[in-house]
Amino acid sequence: MTTRNRVLHWAILGLGYAFLYVPILSLVVYSFNDSNLVTVWGGFSLRWYRALFDDATLLRAAWLSLKIAFFTATAAVVIGTWAGFVVARMGRFRGFSLYVAMVSAPLVVPEVVLGIAMLLLFVEMGSLIGWPTGRGAFTIWVGHVMFCMAYVVVIVQSRVRDLDRSLEEAAMDLGAPPLRVFFSIILPQLAPALVAGWLLAFTLSLDDVVIAAFLSGPGSTTLPLEIFSRVRLGLKPEVNALAAILIGLVAVGMGIAHWLQWRRESARP
Amino acid sequence: MRLMIRRLKPEARTLAIVPPYAWLILFFLLPFLLVVKISFSDMEFGIPPYGSLLSFEDEMVQISLHLRGYILLFTDNLYVATYLSSLKMAAVTTLCCILIGYPMAYCIARSNPRYRSLLLLGVILPFWTSLLLRVYAWIGILRNEGLLNQALMWLGVIDSPLEIYRTDVAVYIGLVYTYLPFFILPLYAHLVKMDLRLLEAAYDLGAKPWRAFLSITLPLSRSGVIAGAMLVFIPTVGEFVIPELLGGANTLMIGRLMWTEFFSNTDWPMAAAVTCVMVLLLLVPLALFQFNQVRQLEERR
């Protein structure tokens, strides 16, 4: 690379990353602001963190969201792995195009569309078979599994394609039945993809406003719904504190994941 | 592969395919058909707030399709303007993502492999932090007394604060910011796999860098650009959270309109009709995205 190119290269990356990170950093910095006016600096303080932990409504919503996200991620990994394995390994069965379309559409279809569609399904089911009787954590869970599953499928199917077939073939030559091959040969090799898929589904579920708004009922206000109803009217300093905590957790988690991967790669001969 | 299929008896293979297929039909296809059905029903007061299409009277089964929602959609200027405005905003957002994202993906893919995974992590990280909170951060930056105006006034570029918050410009910034990683990631995956010897061959034959880029790198990254552009364009058309938090009262977007019909007016049939027309508008980009997905799956096979 010539010097001019190198300057251009780093200028593009510098500006691009500044655009991505300035908003995130500003949230963290202003979460330590003592002033009531969110954009005026009034000195360092932890008062918004204290306010956050005294806020029973917000804590209750956070606990509900964590529970929903945990069960969503678990179910999405189970169904998504199955669905992704079918995409990668079952060849072109009848209806393959429709299957691929249905499995990847939630990645792009606007959330308002998914939200109203799932809601109408539950309403019609409720009037036809009397179940589910109302909307709440359960309906939010099903809706979240539906759209998080698509992300798991993307991750799992690309990993399945990269697997070394010779291990499976050896197991089958030794007489292992297909299910045994799946659970003792394929699944352990997919472990990193499953962890990544679980974490992604967990994050997506924890962050969703729109689908939850359609599928929630009285008493099932999730954390994003609570935050959304507060910040709709402007800035709320306690939300900055919450954001800083969540960003910190993500940064630490990603840092550890990256470090583990880096260590594994450098341990390889 | 063949061995696996031979071992799996046909019934076992069907057994593996049917459950996820059934799940998708129940929770994805069927709900869409219900949206279409309810868009043709009549608004009623009650629970659920819409009437049934079928009625049995005088030994006759009557199907009544109410077109109220659709007629209103195509005659009321507000709806037409909202659709056009959403498409325009999505197109501009996609264009901005291409203009910012392509150089970034290119620079990351051509970086020293030692920093490359760290740079990639930098693009993925915002994707893992809450979208809602990242959009919220822009409120603090774009407000009249926000960070951007303070910085510009301190630098002496402007004398009075710029009105950005609660305008379309703020929505554009929020949309580009949110969807940029969705464009960079698929494009990066294509650029990093590219065989660099092709470029060397072009240079050896005397091609200028610009020419080599246009006739080698750009065509080879085409399906990455398509995948990324569709991942930006399609969800942007129906976006709700970003225009609601950053836009003004006259920022027209379908997602917001549909939300108002549904939650404020409790007009479910109208909301369903708005949704159906939105999906119809997105059919071409959706088909393009799906075609691209299936082709990529087959290329890798």
Residue B41 placed within a domain: no
- Of A104, A127, A165, Cβ closest to residue B293: A104
Summarize pLDDT for A74-88 with one digit per residue, the tens: 999 999 999 999 988
| Chain A with chain B: Cβ pairs closer than 8 A | 238
CB contact under 8 A, A117 and B1: no
Smallest Cα distance from A187 to chain B, Å:
15
* A96 or B179: which leads in pLDDT: B179
The pLDDT of residue A129: 85
Q: Which of B129, B119, B128 is nearest to B191 (CA)?
A: B119
Q: In this predicted structure, what is the pLDDT of residue A38?
A: 64
Please name the helix (run of DSSP H) or strand (run of DSSP E) that holds residue B57, with its range, or none: strand B54-57
Cβ <8 Å between A40 and B145: yes
In a domain, B61, yes or no: no
- The residues in A 123-152 lying below 8 A from B, measured between CB atoms, are 123-124, 127, 142, 146
For residue B148, the domain's CATH number is 1.10.3720.10
Question: What are B13-70's pLDDT values in tens digits?
Answer: 888 889 999 999 999 999 999 999 999 988 877 677 787 777 777 777 777 788 888 9
DSSP state of A95: T
Q: Which residues in chain A (48-77) have CB-CB distances under 8 A to chain B?
A: none
Amino acid at the residue A13: L
Say which DSSP state B221 is in: T
pLDDT > 60? residue B3: no
Whether residue B62 is contained in a domain is answered as no
B20 within domain boundaries: no
Cα dihedral across residues A213, A216, A219, A220: positive or negative: negative
Domain span at residue B279 reads 76-300
pTM > 0.80: yes or no: yes
Nearest Cβ partner of B126 from A20, A109, A206? Answer: A20
Residue range B295-299: mean pLDDT, rounded: 73
Residues of chain A with pLDDT under 70: 1-2, 37-39, 268-269
Q: How far apart are alpha carbons A197 and A138 in whole angstroms?
A: 21
Q: For residue B25, list chain A residues with Cβ-Cβ distance below 8 A.
A: 102
Nearest CA in chain A to B13: A90
Amino acid letter at B97? C
- Position B53 in a domain: no
B191 occurs within a structural domain: yes
Please indicate, yes or no, if residue B167 is contained in any of the structural domains: yes
Nearest-angstrom CA–CA distance, A163 and A157: 10
Residue in chain B lying closest to A255 (CA): B121
Q: How much is the pLDDT for A88?
A: 86
C-beta neighbour count of B45 within 10 angstroms: 6
For chain B, how many helices (H) and strands (E)?
A: 16, 2
CA of B287 vs chain A CAs: smallest distance (Å): 9
In contact, B169 and B212? CB cutoff 8 Å:
no
CA distance linking residue B164 with residue B133, whole number of Å: 19
Query: What pLDDT does residue B10 have?
Result: 65
CA distance A105 to chain B (A): 8
Give the integer Cα–Cα distance in Å for B225 and B211: 19
Alpha carbon separation from B179 to A157, B87, B167, B202 (Å, rounded): 24, 16, 19, 34
Q: Which tens digit of pLDDT belongs to each residue from A24-62? A: 998 888 888 887 766 677 778 888 899 888 889 999 999
Instruction: Give the integer Cα–Cα distance in Å for A255 and A267.
Output: 18
Interface contact A210-B7, CB threshold 8 A: no
**Predicted pLDDT at A2:** 64
Chain A residues lying within 8 Å of B17, measured CB to CB = 86, 90, 93
Interface test with A, best of B7, B15, B34 (most A CBs within 10 A): B34
Query: φ and ψ at A33, to 5 degrees?
Result: -80, 135
| pLDDT for B112 beyond 60 | yes
Is A235 an interface residue toward B (CB < 8 Å)?
A: yes
CB-CB neighbors (< 8 A) of B41 in chain A: none
**Bridge partners for B56 per DSSP:** B61
What is the model's pLDDT at position A89? 85
Residue B151 lies in a domain: yes
CA distance B74 to chain A (A): 20
Whether the predicted interface score ipTM is above 0.90: no
- Chain segment B239-273, per-residue pLDDT in tens: 999 999 999 888 999 999 999 999 988 889 999 99
Number of domains in chain B: 1
Q: Which residues of A touch B279 (CB under 8 A)?
A: 109, 113
Instruction: Report the distance separating Cα A164 and Cα A7, nearest Å.
Output: 42
Domains of chain A: residue spans and CATH:
31-267 (1.10.3720.10)
Q: Residue A164 CA to chain centroid, in angstroms?
A: 28
Determine the average pLDDT of the residues in B222-231.
90
Smallest Cα distance from A33 to chain B, Å:
13
Token match 């301190």: residue? B154
- Residue-level pLDDT at B51: 78
Check: CB of residue A28 under 8 Å from CB of residue B134.
Answer: no
B2 pLDDT more than 70? no
